Chain A
Amino acid sequence: MQRILLAEDHDDNREMLMRRLTRAGFDVRGACDGQDAVTQALSWKPDLVLMDVSMPIMSGLEATRKIRESLGASIRVIALTAHAMNESREACLEAGCDAFATKPVDWPFLMDEMSRQFQAKAS
């Protein structure tokens, strides 16, 4: 079972996505801020992190950088953000995210993207 860490500070959103991902057959854990996300990513070593960008304590981008520093390319990171301006996408890719999805999430798109990331990780 693929392990997914969901970093999201908005409780309802986190709960919603965790439930949908669990239903979709993933092993999901939640983190409520960037610091938490880094800690859990390092200890649990998930296959993929769904990273909200705007989070308290530590932003998603900062957390992604820290995770990349420690774990390198062995972990996939998809940024999730409600910001839709182009520069935010550039910032995400710059920080080391592998992909980028906007909120509200287009579920089929997210599923496609995740499967692509798992494929990439596998190869």
Chain B
Amino acid sequence: MIRSYALQKHLIHARQEIPIVIIMIGIAGASFALAIHQIWPLIWVAGFLTVFAFDTWFSHRLASWERSRLIAPWTSVHLGVVSCVTMCTFMIVPIAMLTTGDIALAVAAIAMLAASATRATNTLSVSRIAGIMTLTPFVTLPIASLLLPVASQEVEVSFSHLVAVLATICGLGYIVMAWRYRDMVEQKLERARREALVQGRAAARDAMISKLMFQHTSMRAALFDTKGRFLAVNAAWLSAINKSEQDLLGRTMADAMPSAKATWHEAIEAALQGRSTQKSFDHRVRADGVEVYLDWEVHPWYTPEGQIGGAIGYAQDVTEVFMVRADEKAKQARLTAMMARAQEALDEKRKLLEDLCDAEVLSLKSASASQDAETLDDHGATPAADDPSGPSAGQLLAGFERILRDIDERDHLLATAVQQLSEARHKAEIASQAKSQLMANVSHELRTPLHAILGYTEMLIEDAEHDGRGEAARDARKVQNSAHQLLKLINEILDLAKIEAGKMDLTYEQINLQELAEDVFQSLGPLARNRGNQLTLTAPEDPILVLTDGFRLRQCLMNLISNAIKFTENGDVEVCIARKSPPSAQPYVDISVRDTGIGMTTEALSRLFQPFQQADNSVTRTFGGTGLGLTLTREMVQLLGGTVSVESQAGVGSTFTLRVPARGLSASDVVVNMIGDETTPLVLVIDGDDVSGALAQRAVQGLGFNCALACTATSASAYLDFRTVDLIILNLDIPDGDGLTSLHKLRERDSLIDTPIVVVADDDDQRKSIAAGAQEHLMKPVTGAVLGSAIARLIRPKADHVENDVINLPGLNHWRGLKMRERA
């Protein structure tokens, strides 16, 4: 509750003053009455007390009304009156003094006057009106004393002295009390004022926030009083109806907005009765004829006392939302209609299909009525024989559904079959593994006795030859040949098993095809001579080098050439090697083996590559052989990425062609010069420049090492995928890419982890090369002697490698360069 400062001060003072004032006035009045032996001072006192009581009551009332600023002047009047009465009462002692002329009473009168002055000052600080009114007794006192006709009477000195002392004490006491409480009152007032200020500010802020919220919401909002008149209305509302605040405030809705719908008035009435109303998408035609849709609601609002203070209404234009929704609804409706039409079309098609089915069924029935009757009965679509109008729609539908069910059943069967197949495949895989294992074991068991047979036979041959027993030697050789044949067969079977099991490992290396062919010729020369055949090799002058498994390729070539020899008598066997570089495909090499032998018929050709099939079963008897050779050749050539093909004419001869890819490396890419054997260290020279490359190669070979010369980093990299080398000489000026990057890449290879690399560069930036992993940096121009000494210093003899490796890694042997082949 906010009280006025003056009233509050007055109330505080009054509360402090009540006891002392009552006591003082009472004592003064009583003693004075006794002194003059008259009753009127007592009546005076009673009157004062009555005024005092009224003041207390009325002050509180005033305080409770204080909220209304209108009564502030009345507060001052009241305070003035009350203070005046109080002062007059205080005047009782001065009057007594004047009337008795007693000295002691005069002292008391002074004290009382001082008390009055204190009171007046206090009151003056509260209110000017009250202060002035309080001072009036000081003005009226002389007048009153002059006017009062009092008779001088003799009183007891002792008693009048007593009264004077008491009055003096009371007066002084009041002064002391008043001064004492003065500060306290100020403090209390100050605190109250601050609180009031804070409360006021908070209230003002709340009011402001409420007002802001009310004004700035995009919703239209209006507040009505209990009579349904506009109390407040926000900007949104005003702009919506295009009116000003003055047009609305204080007027009812019906009065200010006659175009508003009646439902609004009803809603406001209802809100004043305590009921809320809410409407969504309320259609309304604005004054300008535009159709709008509104969401609106009206609620009662309540005073702090809980009374209905009026109504509050909100409204929002939702025309756009309504339009979007309506659009969606329309779309939905169109979609539904379309679906319905589609359904109709489908139904039509279905009907057509059913009719067709029915027609089919009927035709089937007419074709073989007795046989089909059962089936059709199953499908429920058989028309009764005596029903000329054909099957009913229901029957057709039932038949159709049965057909569908049959299809489902078939799908199910199919799924089962697929699962069974998958299981079968799994079993087959296990069986295949078991077979491979069996093959390996069988091969082992066959080879072990053959080992003894061949060993002893060779010893027998040696012995027989040593002793000059020619016949025995020849016999033993026959045993040896047979054993070798058997071994060959076992090996072929084993190879096939390996290929089938995917365990055929290939070792790629650079192969000179001319050398390979000549090697095979050398092995088969005696056989060819025995059959009276002429072996010829047609190949280009420069060596054809391919990256392939030489051992396997040799095996294939051996098979083809030995077959050619076998089926040719007193004829020609010609091997032709040709490099082919079609523009649109990878380059390849064709190795064709042409003979002038018996040839094959077309029918025989078709069975040619099947295992254990020879062109004619009779050939087995005539020419021997297992019939596995060609199968194995085809499989192996495929593994090597090539193909084998055949052309043949019975009685004229056959031509078998092996086509192998000229994979990555051609003669111009990496040239390998083996001047020593396999155990000789191999140095890889990577140099794009012909002159310096040749110089490096001479330096390497001058030291007695094998040399591989690569012109590009790419070809060197391809080469290193298949070969280990003992030292690398890298010219940083390479044609494809950056030399240092290539050096980095070489160093990252596991196989080159401890292979020394010598860098040949244009500059002298040794640090860069060494950091990149080189062991030696040579600046151009490099002489053969400098290069040679670097190679000699860095390369480690192979034997050292072995020792070091074994010591460092017991149980492991990494004898580099050792190329062990399974030889059988």
B680 contacts A by Cβ under 8 Å: no
> Within the complex, which residue of A54, A93, A102, A104 is in contact with B813, where a contact is CB–CB below 8 Å?
A93
Confirm or deny: B698 has a beta carbon within 8 angstroms of a beta carbon on chain A.
no
Please tell me if the beta carbons of B822 and A102 are within 8 angstroms of each other in the complex. yes
Stretch at the interface among B395-403, B446-454, B630-638, B700-708: B446-454
B822: chain A residues at CB < 8 Å are 84, 86, 89, 102
Tally of contact residues, A, Cβ under 8 A: 41
Chain B, 782-824, CB within 8 A of any chain A CB: 797, 799-800, 802-803, 806-807, 810-813, 815, 818, 820, 822-824
B468-499, CB < 8 A from A = 483, 487, 491, 494, 498
Residues of A within 8 A of B452 (CB): 10, 12-13, 16
Q: Which of B214-222, B359-367, B455-463 contacts A (4 or more CB under 8 A)?
A: B455-463
B462 to chain A, nearest CB (A): 8
Interface flags, A63-81, vs B, CB<8A=1, else 0: 0010011001100000000
Q: Is A34 an interface residue (CB 8 A)?
A: no
Is B440 engaged at the interface, CB distance under 8 Å to the other chain?
yes
Q: Are B450 and A104 in contact (CB under 8 A)?
A: yes
Q: In chain B, what residue has the closest Cβ to A103? A: B451
**How many Å lie between the Cα of A10 and that of B445 in the bound state?**
12
Assess whether A73 is in contact with B803, with CB atoms less than 8 Å apart: yes
| A104 x B812 contact (CB < 8 A) | no
Q: Does B541 sit at the interface, judged by CB under 8 A?
A: no
Report the separation of the CA atoms of residues A116 and B812 in the bound assembly, to the nearest whole angstrom.
Answer: 18
Could you tell me the distance between the alpha carbons of A13 and B456 in the complex, rounded to whole angstroms?
9
Of all chain A residues, which has the CB nearest B505?
A: A86
Give every chain B residue within 8 A of A95 (Cβ-Cβ): 811
Nearest CB in chain B: distance from A105 CB, A: 6
Contacts of A68 on B, CB cut-off 8 Å? Answer: 810-811
* CB of B261 closer than 8 Å to a CB of A: no
Counting chain B CB atoms within 10 Å of each CB, the highest count among A84, A98, A123 belongs to A84
Known: A16-B459, A102-B824. A84 touches B443 (CB 8 A): yes
| Nearest opposing residue in chain A for B494, CB measure | A84
Within 8 Å by CB of B447, from A82, A89, A116, lies A82
Describe B's contact surface by its main secondary structure.
helix
- Please tell me if B444 contacts chain A, counting CB pairs below 8 Å: yes
Instruction: Assess A69 versus B810: contact at CB under 8 Å? Given A89-B820, A99-B820, A104-B487.
Output: yes
- Report Cα–Cα, A13/B444, bound state, in Å: 14
* B679 lies within 8 A of chain A by Cβ: yes
Given contacts A13-B455, A73-B802, A104-B455, contact A83 B810 (CB under 8 A): no
In contact, A72 and B455 (Cβ under 8 angstroms): no
State in angstroms the CA–CA spacing of A65 and B815 once bound together: 17
Distance in angstroms between the alpha carbons of A38 and B197 in the assembled complex: 109
Q: Are B811 and A96 in contact, CB atoms less than 8 angstroms apart? A: yes
User: For residue A120, which residues in chain B have a CB less than 8 angstroms away from its CB?
Assistant: 799, 802, 815
Q: Which residues of B contact A99 (CB under 8 A)?
A: 818, 820
- B447 and A84 contact, CB distance less than 8 A: yes
Q: Is the CB of B491 within 8 A of A84?
A: yes
Least distance between B538 CB and chain A CB atoms (Å): 32
Q: Answer whether residue A44 sits at the interface, using C-beta atoms and an 8 A cutoff.
A: no
In the complex, what residue of chain A is closest to B486 when comparing beta carbons?
A: A104
Q: Which residue of B lies closest to A65 (CB)?
A: B811
The residue that B498 contacts in the complex, of A65, A85, A89, with Cβ under 8 A, is A85
Q: Which of A87-123 contact B (CB under 8 A)?
A: 87, 89, 93-107, 109, 116, 119-120, 123
- Chain A residues contacting B450 (CB-CB under 8 Å) are 103-104
A82 in complex: contacting residue of B448, B453, B459, B462, CB < 8 Å: B448
CB pair B815–A72 under 8 Å, yes or no, is no
CA–CA, A84 and B224, complex, Å = 107
Q: What are the nearest 9 A-B pairs in CB distance?
A: A73-B806, A123-B799, A82-B447, A104-B451, A103-B451, A16-B455, A96-B811, A104-B454, A12-B452
CB pairs A–B below 8 angstroms (15 shown): A13-B448, A13-B451, A17-B455, A20-B459, A54-B444, A65-B811, A82-B448, A84-B491, A85-B503, A98-B802, A98-B815, A99-B818, A102-B822, A102-B823, A106-B824
The residues of B with any CB-CB pair to A shorter than 8 Å are 440, 443-445, 447-448, 450-456, 458-459, 462, 483, 487, 491, 494, 498, 503, 505, 679, 797, 799-800, 802-803, 806-807, 810-813, 815, 818, 820, 822-824
Q: Given contact pairs A13-B448, A83-B443, A107-B458, enumerate 6 new A-B contacts (beta carbons under 8 Å).
A: A16-B455, A65-B811, A85-B440, A85-B498, A87-B503, A96-B810
